[in-house]
Amino acid sequence: MTAAPMTATPMNSPILWIHGAALGPANPALVAWPGRPAVFVFDDALIAGSALSLKRLGFLYECLLELPVTIRRGDVASEVLAFAARHQADGVVTTAAVDPRFRQLGQAIAARVPLTVLPVEPFVAPEAGGPQPGDLGRFSRYWRRAEPLVWQRFKG
């Protein structure tokens, strides 16, 4: 997973930024900081720019209703920063995502408060012999590298 800028600043009372690529209870930020205030922001610019249908927003909303998270809408970075101020937080913790928009938002947040980006468990462990960036030209090449590592976990 590609990470946004990561800081090593120790935090005592961060808020958690929950985004649309990590809407489960196993979200590493929720697991690492149980009980800390968490926020999800519906991204108005993205929703308008992509003309997202109500189905997609409803699916996200239903996921959020099962998580201990405050739900907001608007400009994501501004809302996350305001939520951090509201809770006198000393930083923001979130979970890695591939989406380049996540990287941009992470940079905007990290410019104002310390941001920690936690990794998610990878599908293929980053071991020797695993897929490299140069193996992505076609799936077959990636899979030749990845498949043996994935199946190492099978104990059948």
Partner 1 sequence: MQSGDSLPELAPGDLPRQFTSRAALQQHLQQLFPSASGALSPIVGGWAAAQERLAAVDPGAYGRSRNHLAGAVTHLSPYIRHGVLGLAAVRDAVLGRITRRPEGEKLVNELGWRDYWQRLWGQLGDGIWDDQEPLKTGHPASSYASELPADIAGGSTGLACMDAFAAELRATGWLHNHARMWLAAYVVHWRRVRWQAGARWFLQHLLDGDPASNNLSWQWVASSFSHKPYLFNRANLERFGAGHHCQGCPAARRCPFDASYEALEQRLFAVTPTPRRR
What distances in angstroms separate CA 112 from CA 13, 60, 73, 85, 105, one per listed residue? 16, 27, 20, 11, 12
Using CB under 8 A as the binding rule, whether residue 23 contacts partner 1 is answered as yes
Q: Which stretch binds partner 1 (CB under 8 A): 5-13, 106-114, 120-128?
A: 120-128
* DSSP one-letter code for 41: E
> Could you tell me which of 125, 118, 116 has the C-alpha nearest to residue 146?
125
| Residue 144 sits in the site that holds partner 1 (CB under 8 A) | no
| Residues 25-84 interacting with partner 1 (rule: CB under 8 A) | 25-27, 35, 37-38, 42, 47-48, 50-74
C-alpha distances in Å from residue 1, one per residue of 48, 52, 62, 115 = 27, 25, 25, 17
Contact residues toward partner 1 (CB under 8 A) are 1-2, 20-27, 35, 37-38, 42, 47-48, 50-74, 86, 95, 98-100, 120-124, 131, 133, 136, 139, 142-143, 146-147, 150-151, 153-156
